[in-house]
Amino acid sequence: MEDKTSLNKYISSSGFCSRRDADKLIEQARVTVNGELVLPGAKVAPGDTVEVDGEPIKVKSKARPIYIAFNKPVGVTSTTDAKDRSNIIYFINHPKRIFPVGRLDKDSDGLIFLTNDGDIVNKILRASNHHEKEYVVSVDRAVTPEFVKQMSGGVPVLGKITKPCFVRQEGSRRFRIILTQGLNRQIRRMCEHLGYEVKSLTRVRIMNVELGALAVGKWRYLTLPEIEKLNELVADSSKTDAGPKEKGAERAKVQYIPKKKKEFVPGEGIGERDKKIMGGKGKKVAGETGARAPREKSKKGTYKDFRSKKGKSSK
């Protein structure tokens, strides 16, 4: 039996995009296998032809992984969207196909990774892996002890409270913060909730890799020790989230307690109204096993009537 590979992993292994982006391409019906559109979760066998928007995808068996540290300037978007001429790929103009690991706001600058290794992207991006990202932030007014306390303790953002984090004041209007989660525009939203406006935001570290003296707009390859440490930090990270079945199974282990079946007693649980409806019409009467009250005709009309009325009122 031939060994098959998941389609999203096959695409990410080629360096075309990350596994997460590959899933989006599949959902958008832009991926074909042997000329046929496929569904999410599809697998690829050796010899299959995979195409994205008609472009053949080939996995190079001995392709050397590329890991880049880039000091993104303000104004550059961390996307691979070809329609966005300010995107990070155009800016770097690397000869090999690479893609960013996560995102950094267009209005922010600092460290961001780019790679052609789809597996490490998914491991780093999982918030549950608790990988640290460090930022230096300047705001529009004085940073106070109360501000530091509230920021570090947790702030309402996008319907949830942010995780406790390290925050340290480093100037009258500047502070350092270390996050282990990546909510959309998290730091800006946290500051806004407390009445502050972010003036500048620079990411200075991702896990073991520091921005250091790398100039704005410049990039470098990660060193071998950095790559080894990076892989060590994500070695125990799950590549993907647990699926619905797995999550359901975990909940079942904790929450499910079988209920003792109640012995059936004829007529029990049937109201007086149901007894009147079911009696005298040749139907099973209350108290008989399997007795069921017939449904009364709705006075609100049918679904078809509702649609026709709605159509008339909209004209």
The closest of 119, 125, 175, 179 to 146, measured between CA atoms, is 175
What is the dotted CATH code of the domain comprising 135-200? 3.30.70.1560
User: pLDDT by residue (tens digit) across 32-77?
Assistant: 999 999 999 899 988 899 999 998 987 765 557 899 999 999 999 9
Q: Give burial (CB, 10 Å; 0-12/13-18/19+) of 139.
A: buried
Give SS3 for 207. Answer: coil
Do the two domains 5-57 and 135-200 of this chain adopt the same fold? Answer: no
Distance CA 47, CA 10 (A): 12
What is the structure's pLDDT at 244? 41
Residue percentage of the chain with pLDDT more than 90: 49
pLDDT at 90 over 90: yes
Catalytic residue ranges: 105
Query: Contact, 207 vs 230, CB < 8 A?
Result: yes
User: pLDDT by residue (tens digit) across 12-36?
Assistant: 878 788 888 899 999 999 999 999 9
Q: Is 5-57 a domain of CATH 3.40.50.12160?
A: no
CATH topology of domain 67-126+214-233: Alpha-Beta Plaits (3.30.70)
Query: Contact, 282 vs 288, CB < 8 A?
Result: no
pLDDT at 300 over 60: no
Give SS3 for 120. Answer: helix
Could you tell me the pTM of the whole model? 0.60
* Domain edges within the chain: 5-57, 67-126+214-233, 135-200
Over residues 291-312, the mean pLDDT reads 45
